[in-house]
Amino acid sequence: MSEKPIEELTYEEAFAELEMIVNALEAEQHSLEEAMALFERGQALSKRCADLLDQAELKVRRLSGEAFSAEEE
Amino acid sequence: MPLFADPLSLYWTVTDLTRYLRRLLEDDEALRDLWVEGEVSNLSRPSSGHLYFTLKDAGAALRCVMWRRDVARLRPNLHDGMAVVVHGYISIYESGGQYQLYADFVRPLGEGALYQEFLRLKALLEAEGLFDAERKRSLPSLPKRIGVVTSPTGAALRDILNTLRRRFPLAEVILSPSPVQGDEAPPALVEALARLNALEPPPDVILLARGGGSIEDLWAFNDERVVRAVASSAVPVITGVGHETDFTLVDFAADLRAPTPTAAAELATPVTLADLALALQNLTARAETAVQRSLSRRREGLIALNDRMERASPLRRLQVERQRLDELARRGLAAMGHRLELYETRLEGMRERLISLDPMSVLKRGFSVLTRPSDGRVVSRVEQVSAGDVLRARVSDGTFAVRVTDGE
């Protein structure tokens, strides 16, 4: 399991780890304590993913080329 | 589709066969969206407003139909002998048993040198293998960085950004601006593609786009330098040039051709934010279900264990012992009662026997008992007396003396 702080995970990383955790939970092979810890992390990951989706705003970067007028809306 | 429409029959019906063939044709990707080049003949305009004609070349003929709606947009009018390129799809007219091209757009050919040049260059690049299907690369389903080559002031860029913002704002757009028409456009487009390819890391996909225009407006996208730059781009390219009916050579060289800039942005983002949100929701629900199930499984285990513990507890054994004791006491009492009854019965029998043996009762029936006064013994045999003996006779209410008058 990644030890990266959750706030630093990209959507793909967070989603992949969440998927792994869900698979592990569904396999029911962990102790209760471990399972609860996994679940807690899963919830945090899920929230991280949801936040990323909610906050997603298209970032537009422009390569320096000819001098065109600035970005349109 | 079953091999035979009716399982009991070895024969197709004409309708089933025709329908089967029609489906074959309509399911074929290549036949759904195609351009066919040829000469118009047998043109007919019935009052329905639809247009019927045959497209032919030196080797073959193809029946074509164009519905009234599309005929209305047709410019200029068609006439027999005209060289055209027709866009549409292939299907079967069932009641006529005819496969035909359902045309939605016709462009006159031989419109000057531009089109000849288009065909020449297309044949040349095609022969080089630049358009080969094996060259097409698959596109990432979740692009992190999307390169866009287009005019920074055009409607195409606005359409692309709106579409990307709506569908997949997780991506980063890297705009590599370039003029999209005029003589300076081809080298600028090549340069813009090169700039994106030179990025570290490079974008996951590049959109090459321009809004609609005349064949001259779109000409930069038929330029050999641009087509070669698209074909050799290390990053997969999606083209979205002009409208549905416009085809340029970059479309053939691209990994994927979209009919418009908006469609190119859509094809670049096959998975949308909404799809991701749904997947996330599903995953979260699965996690909750798994934990709930795990908890309830453990709870059930605990209940079962509690039951077993209760059954095994010393208190329980004490109860059992107490119960066994009670049971024993009950059985003991029962056994005692039994025995007393038995004794009573026996005693009663004995008493009855005793009563039956009471000599008084015999005397009352008229018998008497004789005793010898000398020794008080009961006379029960003749030999015990002699003539002249005086005996005492006992009857029920007293005694009296008797004399033996004869004897041995």
pLDDT of residue A72: 39
pLDDT of residue A43: 86
A30 falls within a domain: yes
CA B164 – CA B269 distance, rounded (Å): 7
CA B197 – CA A55 distance, rounded (Å): 29
A68 falls within a domain: no
- Reported as a pLDDT band with limits 50, 70 and 90, residue B364 is confident
A40 falls within a domain: yes
* pLDDT-above-70 percentage for chain B: 95
Is residue B52 over pLDDT 50? yes
pTM of this prediction? Answer: 0.56
pLDDT of residue B246: 76
The verdict on a CB contact (< 8 Å) between A18 and B164 is no
Burial class (CB in 10 A: 0-12, 13-18, 19+), B196: buried
Which residues constitute the domain of residue A20?
6-55
How many CB atoms are located within 10 Å of the residue B17 CB? 13
Which of A32, A58, A61, A69 to substitute to test the interface with B, most B CBs within 10 Å?
A58
Question: Encoding tokens for residue B183?
Answer: 């003589």
Across the interface, of A43, A60, A65, the residue whose CB is closest to B192 is A65
A61 falls within a domain: no
DSSP for B187-225, please give it: HHHHHHHHHHHHSSSPPSEEEEEE----TTTTGGGG-HH
B142–chain A nearest CA distance, Å = 9
pLDDT tens digits for range B167-205: 999 999 999 999 999 889 999 999 999 999 999 999 999
Is residue B76 over pLDDT 60? yes
A14 falls within a domain: yes
ipTM score over 0.90, yes or no: no
- Reported as a pLDDT band with limits 50, 70 and 90, residue B111 is low
A48 falls within a domain: yes
Answer yes or no: are the C-beta atoms of B227 and B195 closer than 8 Å: no
pLDDT of residue A68: 43
A31–chain B nearest CA distance, Å = 10
Answer yes or no: are the C-beta atoms of B369 and B359 closer than 8 Å: yes
Contacts of A47 in chain B (CB under 8 A): none
Is residue B5 over pLDDT 70? no
A23 falls within a domain: yes
Which of B150, B161, B280 to substitute to test the interface with A, most A CBs within 10 Å?
B280
Phi and psi of B326, rounded to 5°?
A: -55, -45
The verdict on a CB contact (< 8 Å) between A39 and B291 is yes
C-alpha closest to that of A63 among B165, B225, B148: B148
Question: Encoding tokens for residue B179?
Answer: 């003029």
C-alpha closest to that of B106 among B42, B48, B40, B28: B40
Number of domains in chain A: 1
A30 → chain B, closest CA residue: B294
Is residue A2 over pLDDT 60? no
